[in-house]
Amino acid sequence: MSGGSPLLRVTISGPPGSGTSTLVSKLEESLGWHSINGGDIFREEAKNRGISVEQLSSEAIGELEVDRTLDSLLKERMSSRDAPEIVESRLSGWWAHNLGLDCLRVWIAVSNEERARRIQKREGGDFGDCLARSKSRQQDDKDRYMLLYGIDLDDLKPYNLVIDADEKDEDEVFSIVSSSLDG
């Protein structure tokens, strides 16, 4: 920490199945940094309610206070003096941009089909079902973030590094981000 500034160095964002969690793990391991994951907070809330992440995503449209509370906690943590070096969440790049935090803001872009393949590999199941669930969750999230904050998930202006990861493996994505952090 220097002069009481947050330690935050990088935000990692992208849709489910884009490889953000894998990237964060690789960054933590190679750099010895710490992270916080907004998705873990969201999944914990779904578990506490006894429902799936997809159900919570759908229900959160009618219960906007859920997101506002979780996002407020994340923003507070990101800008605090004891912030981790890495913050992973769908909107962390937006929050860092809006809060004026000087850090690398990464968006990992992946097509619907590639995300469904990755989700199927990770969780199993039918490809068509994985694709439908992924598309539905993405649309629910887009609708919710627009309603809550006026944020369009397709607007990538807050990100200073956008990586099209359809044709890249986890090591290639890591290399791009790592090089950007060095420079």
- The CATH number assigned to the domain holding 97 equals 3.40.50.300
Q: Residue 102's closest CA among 33, 26, 7?
A: 7
Could you say which DSSP state residue 24 is in? H
Average pLDDT over the chain, rounded to whole? 89
The CA-CA-CA angle for residues 8, 172, 85, to 5°, reads 10
pLDDT at 2: 43
Widest Cα–Cα separation across the chain: 52
What pTM value is reported for the model?
0.84
* Structural domain of 166: 10-182
User: For 105-120, what is the mean pLDDT?
Assistant: 92
Q: With 70 as the cut, is the pLDDT of residue 183 above it? A: no
Judge whether 4 lies within some domain: no
Q: Please tell me the total count of domains within the chain.
A: 1
Judge whether 177 lies within some domain: yes
Write out pLDDT tens, residues 3-44: 455 689 999 999 988 999 999 999 999 999 999 988 777 787
Helix (H) or strand (E) holding 11: strand 10-13
First vs last C-alpha separation in the chain: 19
Q: What percent of the chain has pLDDT over 90?
A: 55
Judge whether 26 lies within some domain: yes
Judge whether 139 lies within some domain: yes
Judge whether 2 lies within some domain: no
Q: With 50 as the cut, is the pLDDT of residue 127 above it? A: yes
Residue 33 CA to residue 16 CA, distance in Å, equals 23
Write out pLDDT tens, residues 147-157: 889 999 999 99
**Residue 167, Cα to own-chain centre: how many angstroms?**
20
Q: What SS3 state is found at 148? A: helix
Judge whether 163 lies within some domain: yes
Judge whether 132 lies within some domain: yes
Residue 178 CA to residue 172 CA, distance in Å, equals 10
